Structure 1
Amino acid sequence: MTVPELLNQRFLGNTVGQFMVCGIILLLGFGLRRLLSRFLSGVFYRLTKKYTAGVSQQQLNALLIQPLSVVLFLFTLFLAFNVLDYPVRVTDIGQNEPWIKKVAFRLYQMGVIWAMAWVVLRLIDFAELVYRRRAEFTTNVNTRLDAQFIPFAKDFVKVLVLIFAFLVMLGQVFAVNVTALIGGLGIGGLAVAFAAKESLENLIASFTIFLDRPFQVGDLVNVGGISGTVEKIGFRSTRLRTAEKSYVTVPNRSMIDKPLDNLSLRTSRRVSFTLNFGHETSRAQLLAVASELREDLRQRPAVVPEEVQIKLAALTQTGRDLSVQYFVQVATYDEYLDLKEQVNYRILEIVEAHHATFATNTTVVQMSPWAPTGAADPAGGHPVL
């Protein structure tokens, strides 16, 4: 048997030559898909390089190569099996085709739509990464404020892409009249709106947050008894990182309905406490301690000098209370704690230098007068046993 005769032998409705061409296309496509994906990713990066400062090609490759490989593999399947009479050519599908051919073709269509949507979603991630990197390298206040809007916009656009892909799938794969379907949604729109009332309220609240800007990512806020640093303003909720390092999710509606205290916008932080000295500490010692401590606080760069107040607040049974209050201008909570620690150590040094002593908690117990056994109790007239 000659080679042409062998190639023309038919098997399962196709010639051996058709099977060989199909196999070669599959091998080439499967073997070169990663290389072609990297090439396409590099072309896209070069075309957009002047707009992508701060983002490397490796970061783009990490996002695009996998979905592009899937798209190229599906395209290879189309070319390979289009050589054969099975499953079925796109232009030949009809009512008389076997159901298994229709199922295979529908699944292939769904795979193509899903893969293309995947590529678009990764491009959205790349755009968000570019804008975030650009915001990191700028000191423009508006740019830094707008940077917090990008994660929200990314999620919003992704939802739109997924909805569009779903509608395309309904129209192309299942032959649904999408226009009539969208028009029919108006009838049930009211019921859907009531069912998704809270979600819609949170969505509207998120737009209010971005327009009014009561806080931004990185701010320390207190809302509804919860204090934490804003890490993300999402599509439905805002994420806070508390001082205990827990991750709290607060609905956006609560962020605008409840009183919100933006602690990061404070001009200064207040420190207030009371030093309780014993009665053995003299007036001269108290004056010396207060004067030296007041002078020390006013000399510190982070302390507001005109806000330093040290007063003899009260004379109690246990001692003499010296009230201390000052305000500090620091950027972070750690700096605030460091300054308080330095001041506290300085207070101990000043108190020890002037030989003053702090009061100690004592318990005073009043005993009834002693009376000999058998004597009458003055309160009740009963003998003391």
Structure 2
Amino acid sequence: MYYFIALVWLMFSTVAVAEEGQSEVIGTSETVITTVRTEKSVSAPVPEGLKSPQKTLDSFLMAMEALKAGDKDALDKAEQTLDLSQVNTLVRKERGRDLAWMLLTVLENTPYLEPKTLPPAHKDSEYTLYDYAEGKLYFAKQTDGRWLFAHESLDTLQAILNTLQTQQQTQAETDESVAPLVSSAPEHLPWHLRISQKVPEWLKPTLLDVAYWQWLSILLIVLLGVVADRLAAFVLRVSVKIWQKFAKPYYRKLSSNILRPLGLMMMASIWWMGLNLLGLPDDVLLVLLVAAKFMAGLSGIWTAYRLVDLISAFFQEQALKTETLLDDMLVPLITQVLKIFVTVAGIIFIANSLSLNISGVLAGLGLGGLAFALAAKDAVENLFGFVTVLTDRPFLVGDWIVIDKIEGTVESIGFRSTRIRTFYNSVITLPNSRMITAEVDNMGQRRYRRLKMVLSLTYDTPPERIDGYCEGLRELVRQHPHTRKDYFHIYFNEYAASSLDIMVYIFFEVPTWSMELQARHQFLLDALKLAERMGVEFAFPTQTLYWQQVDENANHPIDELLPAGSSSNHAQDVARQQAEYITRGKR
């Protein structure tokens, strides 16, 4: 059902565009065509083989004889004798080939038609070659002087052939020596003529200008394309699964349906080739061929996209093997460039298949260049932002950055935007234009990662243990595999409200945040183990209420040196003596 819906949608959309475009072109270009032909009549001479009805007929017959002999270029010469101006350019090539063979068959089955029987020159604008019941077969003189088989005559060829075939079959029933239809090269006849000779009479009536046997053929071709698509998709999926079992690990991550578009391409190709064999009327052939060509082009682009994904998977795996992150950033860029190239090539292929006027499109873009430039201002700024990121390299894929209060890890860098994975696992898309003026704090480019903290000890910790614990922490820094050894500070730093505070100011030499966390984890565990071994305890905010019974007879050793009632000057002298004693012991 999916295929028929898609086909119907393509048919209607294409017909709408084609009819609209054709009406505009035909309506506006008649004067231009007349002018061009008038100019050609003045500047370019009429080809010798088209100067008269006699020469045109002789040129056609000679070209068809050369075609039967194997000269493929002769078909173009034969088509030059036909007035195909009324045939849509999308099907002109296919229609011209069929008309040439049908005309040859009609001429071969019409008696007394020899080029030498025609006059060498003719003054009127028309010359009737033969008058059939379905219409006359005649030449028409063009405005540039060429004599061509008139397009009205070409339109009646199918009906003339049907009548000739019926007459020959009637005669063959009474006279066995009469062949059903005479042709000097039956193997070169279009397939629809061969089929029409063999189908029963009840399949020859028409519905909407299409014979019954042609309707059945269309149904069979569509069905054959769908079956080929499903079969190819199944075979390709199984083949990819088998291949992935023996392929490199980076190919195993790809979907088993990566070659699925090849099935659609096969289906479109079967439709494209099959419809050309049926000899359908121009309008019907135009609709169906445009749909088939359009689907073939889209499936080709899709197939190329999947091949680019295969190439990208290979390069991503190779980039992971290197230490630099530049190639990790360039691989998505190369993938995007290849997909843009594939898209452009696919558009050109579709435009060429549909005979679109690329020059007219480009001219339209030129006329709307100013509007396009204004509309593309943001896109150009984003592109310059991407170039800035690529050349200045303020960050790479995988870096931890802070930009405009946005913090996270760079996931991808594209032409238009940069994607950042935040630490709460959302993805923020930043236009590259902001990279030109924004301040980027690249946390991932730090050589050292600082740890600044305070270790709080209880107030009952002896001074010598505080000093010993600080020295033990310094030794932990010296022994740690990822700390900076030439610059760190660990000292007793403050008397806090409920603790004796030791400041720890050290640096870790690690490339990533995850390794920094691991290094912190190891250092903090070592500091805790050292505290247990040194007999020091960590403080926390508390208030302690002491109940103490005062012994009036108890004396402090300093009471002998500093009795009650001593003067301030005497107290200062005693304190200086004690300080000198303390410092003298360290010396």
User: TM-score, normalized by length of structure 1?
Assistant: 0.73
SS, match of residue 273 in structure 1: strand
Name whichever of 230-239 and 328-337 sits farther off: 328-337
**How far 1:275 moved relative to its partner?**
1.7
What is the alpha-carbon distance in structure 1 between the residues aligned to residue 425 and residue 353 of structure 2?
A: 48
What is the alpha-carbon distance in structure 2 between the residues aligned to residue 22 and residue 281 of structure 1?
A: 97
Q: Is the alpha carbon distance of 1:36 and 1:7 closer, same or farther for their aligned partners in structure 2, counting shifts above 3 Å? A: farther
Tell me whether 1:133 sits opposite 2:327 in the alignment.
Answer: no
1:109 counterpart (272, 275, 293): 293
8 Å CA contact 1:37–1:69 kept in 2: the answer is yes
Could you give the per-residue CA deviations for residues 263-305 of structure 1, whole angstroms, max 9, x where no partner exists?
Answer: 2222221111012334322321210111112112211112222
1:100-249 alignment to 2 at 5 Å?
101-136=285-320, 138-139=321-322, 141=324, 145-166=326-347, 169=350, 172-173=353-354, 176-249=356-429
Tell me whether 1:273 sits opposite 2:453 in the alignment.
Answer: yes
What is the alpha-carbon distance in structure 2 between the residues aligned to residue 267 and residue 124 of structure 1?
A: 37
Unaligned runs of 5+ in 1: 43-51, 365-385
8 Å CA contact 1:19–1:84 kept in 2: the answer is no
**How far 1:201 moved relative to its partner?**
0.9
- Give the aligned CA root-mean-square deviation in angstroms: 3.7
SS, match of residue 322 in structure 1: strand
Q: Is the alpha carbon distance of 1:335 and 1:149 closer, same or farther for their aligned partners in structure 2, counting shifts above 3 Å? A: closer
What is the alpha-carbon distance in structure 2 between the residues aligned to residue 330 and residue 58 of structure 1?
A: 30
State the match for 1:11 in structure 2: 204
Alignment length, in residue pairs?
A: 339
Could you give the per-residue CA deviations for residues 149-199 of structure 1, whole angstroms, max 9, x where no partner exists?
Answer: 2222322442344355446545653x6532132133233223222223222
**How far 1:21 moved relative to its partner?**
6.9
SS, match of residue 216 in structure 1: coil
Q: Give the structure, 1 or 2, with the largest relative contact order (CA under 8 Å, sep 6 or more).
A: 1
8 Å CA contact 2:484–2:507 kept in 1: the answer is yes
Q: Is the alpha carbon distance of 1:160 and 1:20 closer, same or farther for their aligned partners in structure 2, counting shifts above 3 Å? A: same
Q: Is the alpha carbon distance of 1:17 and 1:319 closer, same or farther for their aligned partners in structure 2, counting shifts above 3 Å? A: closer
What is the alpha-carbon distance in structure 2 between the residues aligned to residue 61 and residue 346 of structure 1?
A: 50
Unaligned runs of 5+ in 2: 1-196, 239-246, 545-587
2:509 counterpart (318, 321, 329): 329
Larger radius of gyration: 2
**How far 1:8 moved relative to its partner?**
5.4
What is the alpha-carbon distance in structure 2 between the residues aligned to residue 162 and residue 222 of structure 1?
A: 35
User: TM-score, normalized by length of structure 2?
Assistant: 0.50
Q: Is the alpha carbon distance of 1:359 and 1:10 closer, same or farther for their aligned partners in structure 2, counting shifts above 3 Å? A: closer
What amino acid is aligned across from residue 181 of structure 1 in structure 2? V
Q: Is the alpha carbon distance of 1:107 and 1:6 closer, same or farther for their aligned partners in structure 2, counting shifts above 3 Å? A: closer
Q: Is the alpha carbon distance of 1:105 and 1:12 closer, same or farther for their aligned partners in structure 2, counting shifts above 3 Å? A: farther
SS, match of residue 139 in structure 1: coil
State the match for 2:476 in structure 1: 296
What is the alpha-carbon distance in structure 2 between the residues aligned to residue 59 and residue 282 of structure 1?
A: 65
State the match for 1:305 in structure 2: 485
What is the alpha-carbon distance in structure 2 between the residues aligned to residue 321 and residue 140 of structure 1?
A: 42
State the match for 1:63 in structure 2: 258
1:30-69 alignment to 2 at 5 Å?
30-33=226-229, 62-64=257-259, 66-69=260-263
What amino acid is aligned across from residue 296 of structure 2 in structure 1? V
